[in-house]
Amino acid sequence: MELRADRFEDFFKDQTSFVRLNHYPPCPVPHLALGVGRHKDAGALTVLAQDDVGGLEVKRKSDGQWVWASPTPDAYIINVGDIIQVWSNEAYESVEHRVMVNSERERFSIPFFFNPSHYTVVEPLEELVSNESPAKYKAYNWGKFLLTRKASNFKKLDVENIQISHFRVPELADALEGALKLN
Ligand SMILES: O=C(O)CCC(=O)C(=O)O
Ligand SMILES: [Fe+2]
């Protein structure tokens, strides 16, 4: 993106990064269960270590198909999170993913979530925004976003999980359509 090498440093002074240790036991009815339901990682970047069992699937944007992400020995999976989608003004996109289980073997995975300071105001980087390419997102506070996401995890039935799409600036065509409907 032709940014300064230290462009992101200030965002991570009091980083809120964390590691999760996932254990997926064998499941007797794998077609009725998911290891992790579909979601996008909310932070900046995820570095995922996993064993050789497999189970991670990513959603292909072109046709919405779930694609198996085969484990590669001694390799990490690097996942772009929502924050990089916003910082890059959608040059990079956060991919939707989920985890399948199987009835044969337990699986272990260790994602490291690389996240900025809780007080970070996330918005498209000014160097990447211009009149020709206006900001696609309004600014939001990362700490509040994370807390809201965590709180809503416990009441998924009545609260929609907070998503970066809630901060998306409508395309001109959508805005015009909305304005016309109001009249
Ligand atoms: O276990 C995996 O492969 C991924 C887990 C995951 O997506 C997550 O913890 O956010
Ligand atoms: Fe994830």
Task: Check which CATH number belongs to the domain holding 59 and give it.
Answer: 2.60.120.330
38 lines ligand 1 (CB under 6 A): no
| pLDDT at residue 54 in the model | 95
Is 3 part of any domain? no
- The tally of CA atoms less than 13 A away on the side-chain side of residue 24 is 27
Token code pair at residue 110: 């260790």
Is 1 part of any domain? no
Task: Name the closest ligand to CA 22.
Answer: 1
Taking the CA of residue 24 as reference, the ligand 1 atom at the shortest distance is 1
Q: Using an 8 Å Cβ cutoff, are 112 and 41 in contact?
A: no
Taking the CA of residue 98 as reference, the ligand 1 atom at the shortest distance is 7
| pLDDT at residue 159 in the model | 55
Whole-Å CA distances, 39 to 57, 149, 152: 11, 11, 13
| pLDDT at residue 161 in the model | 78
In angstroms, the CA 39 to CA 44 distance is 14
Per-residue pLDDT of the chain (183 residues; tens, 9 = 90+): 899 999 999 999 999 999 999 999 999 999 999 999 999 999 999 999 999 999 999 999 999 999 999 999 999 999 999 999 999 999 999 999 999 999 999 999 999 999 999 999 999 999 999 999 999 999 999 999 999 887 765 555 555 678 999 999 988 777 777 777 765
Domain that holds residue 102: 9-182
| Structural domain count, the chain | 1
Q: Using an 8 Å Cβ cutoff, are 56 and 97 in contact?
A: yes
Is 142 part of any domain? yes
- Looking up tokens 């996109």, which residue turns up? 93
Is 4 part of any domain? no
Q: How many CB atoms lie within 10 A of CB 78?
A: 10
Is 2 part of any domain? no
In angstroms, the CA 115 to CA 126 distance is 20
109 lines ligand 1 (CB under 6 A): yes
Token code pair at residue 16: 């809120």
Is 58 part of any domain? yes
Please, what's the b/e burial string for 106-116 (b: 16 or more CB within 10 A of its CB; e: otherwise)? ebebebbbbbb
In angstroms, the CA 61 to CA 1 distance is 22
| pLDDT at residue 92 in the model | 97
Taking the CA of residue 79 as reference, the ligand 1 atom at the shortest distance is 7
Please give the single-letter amino acid code of residue 166: H
Is 79 part of any domain? yes
